[in-house]
Amino acid sequence: MIELRDHRILVDGRPVVVVAGEVHYFRLRRAEWSSRLDLLVEAGCSCVSSYIPWLFHELPDGSLDLTGRTRPERDLGAFVDLCAERGLTFLARPGPFVMAELKNEGLPYRLYTEHPEIVPVGWDGVPAPTRTVDYLAPAFLAEVEHWYAGVMPVLAARLQPAGGPVLAVQLDNEVGMLAWVSGSPDLTDHLLGELRRWCADRYGAGLAGRYPGVDDDGWAAAVRSPQETWAAALRVDLGWFLRERFARYVDVLAGLARRYGIDGVPFLVNIHGTEGGNGVPFALGVSQLYRSYAGRPGFAAGSDHYLGDLSAGVLADLHFIGATMAAVNGVDQPLTSLEFEAGTGDYGGGLEQLHDPATVDLKTRLCLAQGHRLVNYYLLAGGVNPPLDLPVGDGDDRLSFTGERHGSAAPIGPRGERGLTFAATAAVAAAVRTHGDWLADLDEEHDDVAVGFWPDAFLTEHTHPGSAVMRALVDDLTAHRGPGPRGALWRSLLLAGVRFGATDLQDPARRLPRTVALASGRVLDAAVQRRLADHVLGGGSLLLLGRLPQRDPEDRACTVLADALGLTPGVRSTDDASHHPSLVGHGAAAGLPETRVGWLDELVAPAGSPLFTDVEGRVCGATLTAGTGRAVVITAELPARPELVTALLTWLGSPPALRLRTDVPGVLALSGARPGGGRLLHLLNPTGYAATVRLDAGDPTGLLDQPLRLPPRTGWMLPLGLELPGLATVVASNAEVAEVGPDRVRFRPGLQDRTEVWLRTDRVVQASEVRTVDGSVVVSGPADADLLVRFGPARGLRPRSS
């Protein structure tokens, strides 16, 4: 039985962490299936994930082959059964869209010719440049039912609750992504008719005033080529409508899946959004799709991220992805990653990229520290793209547009060779397996601070190219949202050792922490402004970085927050060839050097104390009180300043508990706790420098109060009060558990001059050095070798004679 409960995945009542690897059976000869699964096991994965392409299984006559009658690789059931024979579970991804670099994103060619009405046009009636379709067009849904009627019974016969290996079923893939990347919304006549009815239901008699002069007959043409007078309103309406429409589409798919036997396993939704190594646009996918899954029983969402090497900069992007997903998840929904980038990154096979092998280790550790319960390494195994049954004359006539071989960057190459990152992937998977029982049941610990996540800040996927008002609104939102300009807000918090997540400011049911941190531009929703104002006036705290909000998303004046704080904007100053604005710190910022910035806005704050001014004395940052709360407002493009954020959070009443201090910027410290007791301290050094770290970890022994030395490009999980069942409780350790056996534990070399582990146990302990301190057994050894601890019988018990 598979359950999603309290942000966990429970298999037969037991919390688990699922480590999966994507293996595409359709890109392998059937004779190769066994060897690839053997390599997957060697790589440390316990689950196989695969797309199931409609395009591959449909024959030229429109019938489906899922049994291998036309070619053995089409026997889907046989592949799933082979996974089960090896004790592996299976994550099914049957589309209808699968992407996976397949032509038509995995849809049969005939759909586009037999049903031209499903093919969208975009702004000004220009044909969509991608192979997208109108998801809810009746003809498309009828075809999807034909596909699901064939594929779902194969999976239904193998579901985990019935004793099979199938743990979950993903519905479609990256819904809404194609329209986003092309900038061309799916404006079919069918969709626009739905939009008109949606607007009529929403606005009633007010619809004519919202869209003056646009009647039913002229509605489609007007939306495709909007007028400036109501373009801002259309941008909002179209975004909200598409959210609800995507949710209806996912509902239809779930209903069809249930009709054909899928029951008792979660439905998964894959979220897209990373772009060119930038994780911030990922929240656009969250914004598009959270209505499709958030808070819905039996549903969970997964990330889909491609960020390249994990540097100090990308660290914040990956953390942002997990935090924004968690911000909208329901109380039972876990974090998962359905496409977790693995391999060298050389996707084109031209040696343009070669990721550091530590990347997969560091990324995995960060996601697990944030509470991910499923990680699917994509792509784990490469293969060969088979030919299409009917040639289409496109240059290669293969299933995919990547040519003959696919996945040359993967840990397992197209010929079944172990790739450059295979060993690193296997090593971190082994660490996850060793810590699996703990990681499956840990909750990320947070200080009393969260970043405010405003989903509508990411409602920017559709902007008419000729609309100046749409462009101005979207430019303001994209310049300031999420991590803030230059990522300064997020990175400052993260590298200051603040343990924080994100909170959905549009959900009034979400409890706000003591301090809300927010990156904002001039555009901010009125209801969100009111909520933040009430929070401060009622005794909460606010850290605002960016511009003072002055407009709402429909470009109407809105100064609710500014008025509550007693603030008004003044003169704006930007960097150009003849002007170089610079900040001078005051108060908590007095110790900072003068800082050159790209822009600053003067801030008129009669009741505030200056925090920053420009060199001419104009205030652009202030600390202030309002009602019974406090606020810090900085209206300048400030770079990341972890030490400043620590001081400001302390003044705001939310001091970071870990108090991270390090001689190398870029080190990250997070922690998690089990409900029954015990914690894990996660340390990451993504830099190329050896770092010395001090922090207040809450270690009762004092061991971790001493400096820790983190080698370059390494991550560590240090146990605090965690139980080794039947053996001992690890009170504290400066080393990571490497292996747990029935009567032994092995630790990786420690982070101080000597490896040291404090244990509470009633068993006899054998190690290189053993002593007793305050009732704890302390084992230690040299820091350049593993520390092996053996456990004998309980003290006071005499071993049986032979």
Coil, helix or strand for 108? Answer: coil
pLDDT at 529 over 60: yes
Q: What is the mean pLDDT of residues 397-423?
A: 97
pLDDT at 799 over 80: no
Q: What average pLDDT does the structure give for the chain?
A: 96
Nearest by Cα to 718 from 380, 421, 369: 369
Q: What is the mean pLDDT of residues 488-511?
A: 97
Please indicate whether the domains covering 2-113+132-180+265-441 and 661-794 agree at the CATH topology level. no
Q: Scanning the structure block, which residue is given the tokens 């009669």?
A: 606
Q: How many CB atoms lie within 10 A of CB 242?
A: 24
Percent of the residues in the chain that have a pLDDT greater than 90, as a whole number: 97
What is each CA distance from 745 to 44, 589, 797, in whole angstroms? Answer: 19, 48, 21
- Please tell me the distance from the alpha carbon of residue 94 to that of residue 235, in angstroms, as a whole number: 32
∠446-452-457 over CA atoms, to 5°? 145
pLDDT at 801 over 60: no
Domain ranges of the chain: 2-113+132-180+265-441, 449-652, 661-794
Three-state SS for 44-106 is CCCEEEEECCHHHHECCCCCECCCCCCCHHHCHHHHHHHHHHCCCEEEEECCCCCCCCEHHHH
Predicted pLDDT of residue 796: 62
Q: For residues 744 and 789, is the Cβ–Cβ distance under 8 A?
A: yes
User: Which two tokens mark 309?
Assistant: 């090497």
Model confidence pLDDT, tens digit, residues 163-212: 999 999 999 999 999 999 999 999 999 999 999 999 999 999 999 999 99
Q: Would you place residue 69 in the very low, low, confident or very high pLDDT band (cuts 50, 70, 90)?
A: very high
Q: What is the mean pLDDT of residues 27-52?
A: 98
Q: What is the mean pLDDT of residues 751-762?
A: 97
Predicted pLDDT of residue 468: 98
Q: Order of strands, edge to edge, in the sheet holding 629-634?
A: 501-504, 449-453, 515-520, 541-546, 629-634, 619-626, 609-614, 582-585, 595-596
Three-state SS for 458-487 is HCCCCCCCCCHHHHHHHHHHHHHCCCCHHH
DSSP string covering 301-322, please? EEEEE---S--HHHHHHHHHHH
φ, ψ of residue 759 in degrees (nearest 5): -125, 145
Model confidence pLDDT, tens digit, residues 657-668: 999 999 999 999
Predicted pLDDT of residue 47: 98
What is each CA distance from 237 to 121, 184, 199, 525, in whole angstroms? Answer: 18, 16, 8, 14
Q: Would you place residue 800 in the very low, low, confident or very high pLDDT band (cuts 50, 70, 90)?
A: very low
pLDDT at 312 over 90: no
Q: Judging by DSSP bridges, how do beta strands 372-381 and 18-23 pair with one another? A: parallel
pLDDT at 315 over 60: yes
What is each CA distance from 560 to 357, 524, 587, in whole angstroms? Answer: 50, 10, 27
Q: Would you place residue 351 in the very low, low, confident or very high pLDDT band (cuts 50, 70, 90)?
A: confident
Lowest mean pLDDT among 351-355, 422-426, 446-450, 746-750: 351-355
Element (H, E) at 650: helix 642-652
Nearest by Cα to 428 from 335, 342, 318, 347: 342
Q: How many CB atoms lie within 10 A of CB 591?
A: 9
pLDDT at 505 over 90: yes
> Which residues are registered as beta bridge partners of 758?
732, 778
661-794 carries CATH number 3.40.1160.10: no
Q: For residues 223 and 116, is the Cβ–Cβ distance under 8 A?
A: no
Domain 2-113+132-180+265-441: CATH class, spelled out? alpha beta
User: Which two tokens mark 679?
Assistant: 């914690």
Q: Order of strands, edge to edge, in the sheet holding 2-5?
A: 2-5, 8-11, 14-16
Model confidence pLDDT, tens digit, residues 372-402: 999 999 999 999 999 999 999 999 999 999 9
Q: What is the mean pLDDT of residues 84-100?
A: 98
Superfamily of chain region 449-652: Class I glutamine amidotransferase (GATase) domain (3.40.50.880)
pLDDT at 103 over 60: yes
Would you call 595 exposed, middle or buried from its count of C-beta atoms within 10 A (0-12, 13-18, 19+)? middle
Model confidence pLDDT, tens digit, residues 595-620: 999 999 999 999 999 999 999 999 99
Predicted pLDDT of residue 313: 81
Predicted pLDDT of residue 795: 76
Strand ranges (E), 382-474? 383-384, 405-406, 443-444, 449-453
**Which amino acid is located at 53 in the chain?**
P
pLDDT at 802 over 50: no
Nearest by Cα to 453 from 559, 322, 339: 322
Model confidence pLDDT, tens digit, residues 433-477: 999 999 999 999 999 999 999 999 999 999 999 999 999 999 999
Predicted pLDDT of residue 311: 86
∠209-212-217 over CA atoms, to 5°? 120
Model confidence pLDDT, tens digit, residues 683-705: 999 999 999 999 999 999 999 99
Q: For residues 280 and 18, is the Cβ–Cβ distance under 8 A?
A: no
φ, ψ of residue 523 in degrees (nearest 5): -100, 120
Q: How many Å from the N-terminal Cα to the C-terminal Cα in the chain?
A: 44
Q: What is the mean pLDDT of residues 585-603?
A: 96
What is each CA distance from 790 to 532, 592, 732, 739, in whole angstroms? Answer: 55, 52, 17, 12
